[in-house]
Structure 1
Amino acid sequence: MDINDLRIIVTVVGFLCFVGICVWAYSRHARKRFDEAAMLPFTEDDEDVSARRDGHTKQGNQNG
């Protein structure tokens, strides 16, 4: 086994990993999880919403 055989093996293993990641990323099984993760920046925590309604910030009441 010379260096060229090792290069071929590494190339094939890398390509198979790439194909495996692509199949995983575009599978229907993972789509729901990815859609939920895509909406994370737009969701608000329940504590933040209730604190804004009460007029408090995360540090507490700033009035006095």
Structure 2
Amino acid sequence: MDYITWRSIYTVIVFVLFIGIGVWAFSKARKKSFDEAANSIFEEDELDRSQQNDTKQESKNNE
């Protein structure tokens, strides 16, 4: 086999992998875990705010 044939096979393999990753990423089975990951940043912000409020209340109680 010559170089052009190997490049063609490689191109087909990479294309199939690309399609496979696209199907995996947009499948309905993965939607829940992707949504949880996307919203996790907001959950961390809420935890930070509640911890800050707790420390503010503690400092008011100590005065």
Q: Which category of TM-score, normalised to the shorter sequence, fits these structures?
A: 0.7 to 0.9
Shift of 1:13: 0.3
TM-score, normalised relative to structure 2: 0.73
Could you list the per-position Cα deviations for residues 4-55 of structure 1 after superposition, in whole angstroms to 9, with x for gaps in the alignment? 1101110000000000000000101100000001101101378743x32331
Over the residues paired in the alignment, what is the CA RMSD in angstroms? Answer: 2.1
User: What percent identity do the matched residue pairs reach?
Assistant: 45
SS at match of 1:43: helix
> Is 1:17 equivalent to 2:55 in the alignment?
no
For 1:40 and 1:47, locate their aligned partners in 2 and report how far apart those are by CA, in whole Å.
11
Q: Which runs of 5+ in 1 are unaligned?
A: none
Q: Which residue of 1 aligns with 2:4?
A: 4
Q: Which runs of 5+ in 2 are unaligned?
A: none
Q: Higher helix fraction: Structure 1 or Structure 2?
A: 2
